[in-house]
Structure 1
Amino acid sequence: MATMKSVQTGTAPNTVDVVEIERPVPGPRDVVVRVRACGICGTDVSFLHMGGAPFGPGGSMIPLPLGHEPAGEIVEAGAEVTGLKAGDRVVVNPQGVPSGIIGCGGELGGMREYLLIEGAAVGKNVAVFPDTVPFDVAALNEPMAVARHCVNRSGARPADKVVVFGAGPIGLGAAIWLKLRGVEHVTVADVIPERLETALAIGADAVINSATEDVTARLTELHGEAVNALGQPRAGTDIYIDAAGAPAVFDATVASAKWGAKMVMVAVQKKSAAIDLGGMLRSELTLIASQGYPTEIFEVTPEIVEHQERFARLISHRVPFSEVGRAFDLTLTPGAAEKVVVTFDGPAA
């Protein structure tokens, strides 16, 4: 029996285990992908904090296969598969397989040497990309689809002025999509100077260090003056995007929002204090939630190919699979990394 290595939540919280499991064999409609790169997401970190997934008897924790941002190359294809062949380089839709979401509660994880794609079909669960794109950049496809859906939900137009709170991968991805959409002015706010430098490098028009600067004053300086429904002075910002999930973001938005402004929440929300509904009312602030990527998962692929140099700047650390424990340690350490991608270089076991 051929085996391979796979990463799952560890026996103790905030740890991972690398286990030896059976290498998959494709059915007639399946393909096997040799994973060449897989990003680590905040969702993976959440599962590490919990110590697994509560799917065991009585809600007990069980080990969870990790990774839902894989890119790789097809090494085996079933006899009934069409449009795909061995050697094709592909990105994966982790929500497009019948055994559950890859790396988020399903039977399969993307942080492994070989990944079975059940019922493989182009446009459904895989998309092919050219060999001009490095695997690590291609592995950004899934999080960039999340960011793209957020921008789509915002309805941003070229004349709009937008602020993105949180210069992690999703926030920076949203900033890229906003600028590619032709949005006039995009500001990125964060508390980590290095992330703000990255924001400028990927095309943001301005940045705000929200740990040291008055957010409302800076937004007014950048986006002009406006008023809320009561005529009280506010910033001229049209759209606020929360890619941070911190209670302070909502407070800053309500304090700054003009009449008719919109706020889009794409970050996983941390426990927050009471929402200032009165402040929302005074600005007629529209609150929009953004979850996943109903249509965007492969819409983004050709644009990542076209603008790969810009997206590559989002990757702060490339860590070999042989050091996967260190890769997860980086993501578990606040402020230590922006985007960590695990690479599978050399022949797989």
Structure 2
Amino acid sequence: MQVPFVCGPNDLRLFDIEPPRAGPRDVVLRVGSVGICGSDLGYVAAGGTVGPADKPFPIGHELSGTVMAAGDEVRSVKLGDRVVVNPLVNLIGNGSTEGAFARELLIRDFVARPESLLPLPEGLSLDAGALVEPLAVATHGVNQLGVKPGDKVAVFGAGPIGLASLVVLRHRGIEDVIAFDLSPFRRERALALGARAAFDPREQAPRETLLAEHGAVATFRQSLPATTHYLEASGAPVIPDILSFARARASLCVISVQKKPVEVDFGLVMSKELRMVGALGYPTEFGEVLEMLAGGTVDLGPLVSHRFAGEDFLDAFAMASRPGEAAKVLVQYDRD
């Protein structure tokens, strides 16, 4: 079977490898659907997870699948079980020896890490299962942000994580969300997922836009946007601007990868009693997402922009590399 490997900076190749076999403590999945993550794009650009790697490694970590083989010591799953993978447990697609862009995937020593596989609720598609991981990232960001119904939220960046955050915010009853993104395509997706409005920050300055959309509050003799919470999901250098026009006691969560150091005016943080917090991964959120999706009330349709067959992986990766034209791109190996 063919599996993509990162071989160096901007060097992604398909390798032919033998299908895996399960040892006594292992599980093999028939892969269902896999999402292309911004981390995958970053790994290819860098040639590794934090820079050029010593040897080629496979990618892919947002996935669902069906148990097709299990070792003699495996007890907590059985053949035919539909599951999602928590890749933080075994680092699949994040520098390990396995990556999810494959027809079959080995889950090594599952017996020692049974939390790496979670059952996909009845009625959910394999595509929905592939969205659990990015939704868990977004859920952790929303949890860190600490919003509640009635709050006014601004989301900077309507890429897959920004869009997934909109799903979670709307599910939590947050109705007044304003999104900012450079891409008209992604702004349309943001509106479809529940943003009240979406703007291009190059054409409509965020401070003035939020003043008009959320109203104004007085802070140190200034009229500042009444926005209570900010979610930075773009990776753009917008944090200093947000801090400059944030109202007193506003909250900012940074869920994006900031590729360059950001200068922070802690005089503003102190004087306005701003709350700043980061969000990385999903320490406890996988279960929350599965419960949310099992309720059957969440429409994930606008989150997915493209679907490709497994044999067309390179085309899928090329599409995901065009952020102005794509949201979440899925690669399907086993269709429901």
Q: TM-score, normalised by structure 1?
A: 0.89
Equivalence for 1:168: 159
Equivalence for 2:129: 138
Give CA deviations for 1:12-59 in whole Å, capped at 9, x if unaligned: 53232111223222223321101121111111111111223578xxx7
State the alpha-carbon separation in 2 of the partners of residues 338 and 308 from structure 1: 21
Contact 2:186/2:325 (8 A) holds in 1? no
Gaps of 5+ in 2: none
Equivalence for 2:318: 329
Equivalence for 1:39: 35
Contact 1:190/1:211 (8 A) holds in 2? no
Give CA deviations for 1:287-311 in whole Å, capped at 9, x if unaligned: 1010100001232113224347622
State the alpha-carbon separation in 1 of the partners of residues 295 and 190 from structure 2: 19
Equivalence for 2:5: 8
State the alpha-carbon separation in 1 of the partners of residues 330 and 118 from structure 2: 19
Contact 2:240/2:263 (8 A) holds in 1? no
Q: Which runs of 4+ in 1 moved over 6 A?
A: none
Equivalent position SS for 1:234: strand
Gaps of 5+ in 1: none
Q: What code does the residue aligned with 1:218 have?
A: T
Aligned length: 334
Bigger drift between 44-53 and 308-317 goes to 308-317
Equivalence for 1:120: 110
Matched, 1:225 2:222: no
State the alpha-carbon separation in 1 of the partners of residues 56 and 50 from structure 2: 9
Give CA deviations for 1:115-173 in whole Å, capped at 9, x if unaligned: 12234379711111146322222101111100000000111111211111110111111
State the alpha-carbon separation in 1 of the partners of residues 139 and 58 from structure 2: 26
Map 1:89-104 to 2 at 5 A. 89-97=82-90, 101-104=91-94
Equivalent position SS for 2:17: strand
Q: What code does the residue aligned with 1:237 have?
A: T
Match of 2:253 among 259, 264, 278: 264
Structure 2 vs 1, CA of residues 111 and 151 (structure 1 numbering), >3 Å: closer, same or farther?
same
Q: Tell me how far 1:95 sits from its aligned partner.
A: 1.5
Equivalence for 2:274: 285
Alignment RMSD (CA, Å)? 2.1
Structure 2 vs 1, CA of residues 54 and 130 (structure 1 numbering), >3 Å: closer, same or farther?
closer
Q: What code does the residue aligned with 2:27 have?
A: V
Q: What code does the residue aligned with 1:111 have?
A: F
Contact 2:239/2:262 (8 A) holds in 1? no
Give CA deviations for 1:258-313 in whole Å, capped at 9, x if unaligned: 00001000001121553333333442221101010000123211322434762232
Q: What code does the residue aligned with 1:134 have?
A: S
Equivalent position SS for 1:313: helix
Q: TM-score, normalised by structure 2?
A: 0.92
Structure 2 vs 1, CA of residues 61 and 219 (structure 1 numbering), >3 Å: closer, same or farther?
same
State the alpha-carbon separation in 2 of the partners of residues 54 and 203 from structure 1: 35
Equivalent position SS for 2:230: strand
Give CA deviations for 1:52-75 in whole Å, capped at 9, x if unaligned: 3578xxx76421210011111110
State the alpha-carbon separation in 1 of the partners of residues 73 and 152 from structure 2: 50
Equivalent position SS for 1:210: coil
Contact 1:138/1:304 (8 A) holds in 2? no
Q: Tell me how far 1:318 sits from its aligned partner.
A: 0.6
Matched, 1:201 2:189: no
